[in-house]
Structure 1
Amino acid sequence: MIVWLNGTHGVGKTTASVLVQRLIPGSRVLDAEKVGETLMDITPPLPATDDFQHWPLWRPLVVETARRVLEFTGGTLVMPMTVLVEQYWREISAGLASHGIPVRHVVLHAEPDVLRARIASDTVLGPSDFRASRLEPYAEAARTWLHAEAEVVDTTDLSPSQVATRIVAGVDAGR
C-alpha cells in the first residue's frame, strides 16, 4: 500500500515520512519530488514551467515508479509530496488504483501563522519565498477539494512523533 502524505510546504511531510517509515515494518520512503528532479535534469530541458508537476509525464512516471518499487520490495511506501491540483491527484490516484495499489491519502494541515513561522525558522532549508508562496494555493485546495479527499491531520499543536503516531494508527485501523 501507499501512505501518501500531502499538504503544503513547511507542514512536516518530510519529517513525518521518516517517523512513519520507522513505525511501519517493511516500509520505505519514496519522495515523488525526485521524479520531478530527474525530469528537470534532462538536457536540453523540457518546456519551461514553474512546477514540474505541470509536465504531463510526471504523474504517470510517479505511478510507474511507485508500482515498480512496490513490485520489487513489497511492503508499504510512504510518499511525502504536495499535490494541490485536483486533476493531478485524480490522475495519480486512478493510476495507482488501476494497478490495484491501495492508497491512504493523508493531508497534514497547520494554521497559516504556524506555517509561516515554520517556514521562516526552518534551520535545514532556511526561509523560502517559494515555500511561503504555496500557502494560498494550499488554502484554496483545502477549501475546494483536498480536505474532502483525504484524512486530515492537524499538526498545529502536535509534535512530529504525535503526527506520525496518528498516521500509523490510521494505517493500523485499515483506514
Structure 2
Amino acid sequence: MLLWINGPFGGGKTQTAHELQRRLPGSVVSDPEHVGFGLHRMLPAPLRADFQDLASWRHGVHEVLDLALRGYEGVVIVPMTVVEPAYFEETVGRLREAGHEVHHFALLAERETVLRRLTERGLGRGLKRESFAVGMLDRCLERLSGPEFAEHIRTDAVSVPQVADRIARSAGLTLAPNTDGPLKHRLRKAWTGIKHIRFD
C-alpha cells in the first residue's frame, strides 16, 4: 500500500508522514524530492527550474515507487506536492494502473494558516526563506481543492497526530496509540522540521 500525502508547501505533509511512520511498524517514508534535488545538482544553476517539469523526475518517481511497492511488504508513505493534473497522472495514476493500492490525501488549510506555518519554520527569517512556497500557495490551494485531488483533509483546527489518525482510518490501517504529551509533541515536531531543512 502507498499513502501519498499531497498539499501546499507548509501544509504539514512531512510532519504527517513521519507521524504515520512512527506509529505504523514496518512503514517507510519515500520522499520524491530527493530525486528532484539530485536532478538539480546535475544541472548548471541557471537551468534549475521546477524539477517536476522534467520527465526524468516523473518517470523516476514512478519507477522507484513501483519497485518499492513490488519489493517491500510495509506501507510506503510519500509526502509530495503535485498540483499539475498531468503530472499527477504520470505518478499516482500510473501506480494505480499498475495495480498498486494507492491512497491519496490532500492536506488543505486556510491561506493564513499555511502562511503562519511557513513563518514558524522560517528559522527566524519570517517568510523570506519560504519565497517559493509563498509564491506557489494560492495555486496549490486552488488546484488541490479539485475533485481529482481528493481525499481532502482540512488541517486548520486539528493536530498532526489527528491528521495521521484520519489517514489511517481512511486507508484501513491501525496505528499504534499516540502517547506524546503536548511538550513531547512540540519537541518531536521541531526535530522533524530541523531534520528536513533543505539547503539545495
Please give the TM-score of this superposition, normalised by the length of structure 1. 0.88
Distance 2:95 2:45 in 1: 25
Distance 2:171 2:144 in 1: 22
- Mark the structure with the bigger radius of gyration: 2
2:13 aligned residue: 13
Distance 1:22 1:121 in 2: 23
Aligned length, in residue pairs:
171
Cα offsets for 1:14-36 (capped at 9, x unmatched): 00000111232321000011111
Contact 1:23 1:168 in 2 (8 A): no
Cα offsets for 1:33-59 (capped at 9, x unmatched): 1111111122x5499252100011111
Cα offsets for 1:75-97 (capped at 9, x unmatched): 21100000011110011123212
Is the aligned partner of 1:32 residue 2:32?
A: yes
Contact 2:109 2:155 in 1 (8 A): yes
Query: Alignment partner of 1:3: what SS?
Result: strand
1:139 aligned residue: 141
Distance 2:37 2:122 in 1: 22
Gaps of 5+ in 1: none
Query: Alignment partner of 1:106: what SS?
Result: strand
Distance 2:8 2:140 in 1: 6
Distance 2:96 2:124 in 1: 34
How has the CA–CA distance of structure 1 residues 61 and 124 changed in structure 2, closer, same or farther, with 3 Å as cutoff? farther
How has the CA–CA distance of structure 1 residues 57 and 106 changed in structure 2, closer, same or farther, with 3 Å as cutoff? same
Deviation at 1:100, TM superposition (A): 1.6
Task: Name whichever of 56-65 and 119-128 sits farther off.
Answer: 119-128
Query: Alignment partner of 1:4: what SS?
Result: strand
Contact 1:62 1:92 in 2 (8 A): yes
Query: Alignment partner of 2:105: what SS?
Result: strand
Distance 2:63 2:160 in 1: 30
Distance 1:125 1:164 in 2: 28
2:168 aligned residue: 168
How large is the RMSD of aligned CA atoms in angstroms? 2.2
Distance 1:21 1:70 in 2: 16
2:115 aligned residue: 116
Query: Alignment partner of 1:57: what SS?
Result: helix
Is the aligned partner of 1:157 residue 2:157?
A: yes
2:62 aligned residue: 63
Runs of 4+ that moved beyond 3 A = 44-47, 123-127
Distance 1:98 1:142 in 2: 21
Percent sequence identity over matched residues? 33
